């Protein structure tokens, strides 16, 4: 819980710092639902080939069409170990930060290109054992936004990936993502 609060605090401080240092006069906040196809085949064997999860993002304009963005999403899945068919549970949290560039395609349509870092934390419980950790990786995303006067709707396609070792097993966190979001511009 302390890590979550520390990351939320850091997220807020970074957004405030970006807005005051660069004197940004525009910002946005969005919430959405993500579809994830997990990158790790072993994970898919236990928990299934897809996950849906909520995500919140915020951004502050740095210059013209370039924004500093940060986001948070999480999900929990229940599954079954392949051979013994015993219950298993996995929780993953994604903290992201990076840059997004928005290109005006039409007066009310923007194309978004985003890239940055991702921190993927995980906790998995199976066979009366828990394993947890955090791995740093990357994210890349492209999408379209349909703008209203204050609100917007977005459709995005991207990839979030982090990898590392847990004991002698290589794990892959994240995967291909598609998201639908709604938000406001400030």
pLDDT digits over 114-144, tens only?
A: 999 999 999 999 988 999 999 999 999 999 9
CA 76 to chain CA mean position, Å: 14
Residues 32 and 112 sit within 8 Å (Cβ to Cβ)? no
The tokens of 109 are what?
A: 């349509």
pLDDT at 39 over 50: yes
CB-facing half-sphere around the CA of 114: CA atoms within 13 A: 30
142-175 core/surface letters (b: 16 or more CB in 10 A; e: else)? ebebebeeeebebebebbbbbebeeeeeebbbbb
What integer is the mean pLDDT of 49-63? Answer: 96
Least confidently predicted of 16-25, 75-84, 161-170: 16-25
Reported confidence tier of residue 173, pLDDT bands at 50, 70, 90: very high
pLDDT in tens, 141-154: 999 999 998 999 99
Q: Can you tell me whether residue 107 is helix, strand or coil?
A: coil
| Cα angle 15, 17, 23; round to 5 | 95
| Cα angle 100, 159, 27; round to 5 | 25
Reported confidence tier of residue 23, pLDDT bands at 50, 70, 90: very low
How many CB atoms sit inside 10 A of residue 60's CB?
A: 23
The mean of the pLDDT values for the chain is 89
Task: Tell me, yes or no, if the pTM score tops 0.75.
Answer: yes
pLDDT at 167 over 60: yes
What residue ranges define each of the domains in the chain, with the CATH number in brackets?
Answer: 2-185 (2.40.160.20)
pLDDT at 16 over 70: no
pLDDT at 54 over 90: yes
Q: Report the pLDDT value the prediction gives residue 10, as an integer from 0 to 100.
A: 55
113's CB contacts (< 8 A; 6+ apart) are: 100, 101, 103, 141, 142
Q: What is the C-alpha separation between 153 and 147, in angstroms, rounded?
A: 7
Reported confidence tier of residue 97, pLDDT bands at 50, 70, 90: very high
89-111 core/surface letters (b: 16 or more CB in 10 A; e: else)? ebebbbbbbbebebeeeeeeebe
């Amino acid at each position: 819980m302390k890590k979550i609060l520390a990351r939320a605090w850091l997220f807020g401080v970074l957004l405030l710092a970006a807005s005051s240092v660069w004197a940004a006069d525009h910002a946005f906040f969005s919430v959405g639902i993500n579809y994830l196809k997990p990158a790790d085949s072993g994970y898919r064997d236990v928990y299934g080939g897809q996950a849906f999860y909520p995500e919140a993002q915020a951004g502050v304009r740095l210059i013209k069409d370039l924004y500093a963005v940060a986001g948070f999403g999480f999900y929990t899945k229940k599954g079954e170990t392949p051979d013994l068919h015993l219950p298993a549970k996995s929780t993953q949290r994604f903290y992201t930060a990076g840059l997004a560039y928005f290109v005006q395609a039409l007066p009310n349509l923007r194309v978004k290109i985003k890239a940055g870092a991702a921190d993927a934390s995980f906790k998995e419980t199976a066979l009366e054992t828990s394993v947890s950790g955090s791995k740093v990786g990357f994210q890349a995303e492209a999408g379209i936004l349909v703008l209203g006067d204050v609100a917007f709707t977005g459709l995005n396609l991207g990839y979030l990936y982090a990898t590392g070792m847990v004991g002698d097993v290589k794990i892959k966190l994240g995967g291909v993502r598609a998201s639908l979001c709604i938000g406001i511009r400030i």
